[in-house]
Amino acid sequence: MQQLVELLKERGLTIASCESLTGGLFCSSLTQIPGVSAVLKGGVVTYWTEIKEKVVHVSRETVATYGVVSEQTAYEMAVNVQKLFDTDVAVSFTGNAGPDVMEGKPAGSVYTCIAIKDKTYGFHDLIRAERNEVRRLIVEKTTERIKELLINGSI
């Protein structure tokens, strides 16, 4: 997280998050870093579908067609929270932390989306682990992905 905050500061970029299965873990992890207020505008935890629709404007059609555990929902969460907070970077997390199957998706099925300026990057991971380990691992993996995109994307 420290490296991510430093990269964002160096590039003069801001970040926001929209989290479902991670329950705010990404944003909470960022706030452990001194000076993060220079880059973190905020985050939204949208655990219920209704909140995804009302707060970050994920379309009902998307949810009805693809479900909340989907690439499409992750995309709308990231793009819409980027607009809501007016940030350069936004990240979203949605999925099934387990232990049961949800919307036909196995436990550990996670969709994330990273929006950087006008580009988006979607990811699907299947993490076979206990519920809280799924959450921790996807936050770590996504943090690494954001750093990689910032470094290799010449942003």
Position 26 confidence tier, pLDDT thresholds 50, 70, 90 = very high
Q: Where are the domains of the chain?
A: 2-152
Q: Does domain 2-152 have CATH number 3.40.50.2000?
A: no
Nearest-10 Cα torsion for 79, 20, 142, 154: 10
Task: Give the residue with greater pLDDT, 154 vs 95.
Answer: 95
pLDDT in tens, 120-151: 999 999 999 999 999 999 999 999 999 999 99
Q: Is the pLDDT reported for residue 154 higher than 90?
A: no
Residue 155 has a pLDDT of 53
What pTM did the predictor assign? Answer: 0.96
Residue 142 pairs with which residues in a beta bridge?
A: none
Cα distances from 57 to residues 8, 10, 102, 118, 127, in angstroms, run 26, 31, 22, 18, 28
Helices and strands per DSSP (H, E), number in the chain: 6, 5
Give the separation between CA 80 and CA 117, rounded to whole angstroms: 12
Q: Give the long-range contacts of residues 120-123, CB within 8 A, separation 24 or more.
A: 120/75, 120/78, 120/79, 121/145, 121/149, 122/71, 122/74, 122/75
Residue 153 has a pLDDT of 78
Give the separation between CA 90 and CA 119, rounded to whole angstroms: 11
pLDDT in tens, 28-75: 999 999 999 999 999 999 999 999 999 999 999 999 999 999 999 999
